[in-house]
Structure 1
Amino acid sequence: MPPLPVQLSSLPKAFINAILENDDESSDASPDSVRNTQNDLLNNSFVEKEVLFACIQRIDDKIRSVKTEVLQIIQDRQDEFDKKKEKSVALRNKIDTLFLEVDNVSREVNDPEIGIKPKLLTTLEENRKVKQETQNTKCMIETLEYLCELQKSSQRFKEYMKQSRIEEAAGVITQMV
């Protein structure tokens, strides 16, 4: 088979080294043959199809090996993995629920038409007006009561004066002050 052209004149050195070192650990090849293969791959601008496919096959084997290791670790710790995953999902759902509740409460509080905050402000303003009206009414009542007392005292004063009871009329005047 004709050799395949390799872009950029040779395969990257780190890639080839990694493949050959991993291959060296699992094969019975001599260090010299590994070094020769490495040199061929690094120095040639053309690589035999079989060598290139062998490199790709080694990469695929390594990927499968890593996947198998990860799956084995997950299977060995399946219960722990499931518990943590479930706790994670449950915690995420709980947090999402809390955020939704906070948003709902915020809307209920701040909604300009039916929210609690506008109602509270309106109620506080009405309460302030009622308190002011109550205070004004109380002052009016006290003033009217005082005026009634003055009127009664004035009538007694007039009666005492008509009857020429001057001392008693003076006593009424003293009480008024």
Structure 2
Amino acid sequence: MRSNFKTFGTCLWLGAVLGMSGCSSLMMGKQYVFPKPEEPSATVRLQYTPGTNLRLISIGEDRCYAGYTPAPGANGFFDTPVHVGKELVLAYALSSGDKVCQVPFSFIPEPGAIYTLRAGSWTLPKQSFLFNQTVDQEYCGVQVIKSQNGVESVEPVQHLRMRPGLCVKFLKTGT
């Protein structure tokens, strides 16, 4: 009887470990499928700083959020191959203390190009409703620099906003 209990306990423990190891992929939803080595691709790069996060967002056929994949990184950079010729949706985030900068955006990568992301933040004065004072409003953003055939240029990106609901959609700003 003790042997059966030990076997049951071992199976239960093993099942819990396997379930928990798959839990993160279940929570992340549909994963981004990276291009195969023989497929045309581009590269997205971002220098890693503490608190930096870059995610590749999966969008379903209904244009609803389907999941995300953390960008792989090594040697102080997020450096990942991506598909070309179709919209790539990324979410950049930087957490610093109690401040969080999150920028969802998209663009269409071209074959062989390297897209280096540069992020920054700034403040602008804004008139306060209370006591006729001016307060600093904080902003953050991402710039995409495309390098292709030895030529660098600023890539136009589409900034996105999330529309919550049963189907979370990433909408172009202004819509």
Give the TM-score normalised by structure 1: 0.21
Q: Which protein has the bigger helix share?
A: 1
Q: Which protein has the bigger strand share?
A: 2
Higher relative contact order (CA closer than 8 Å, sequence separation 6+): 2
The structure whose Rg is larger is 1
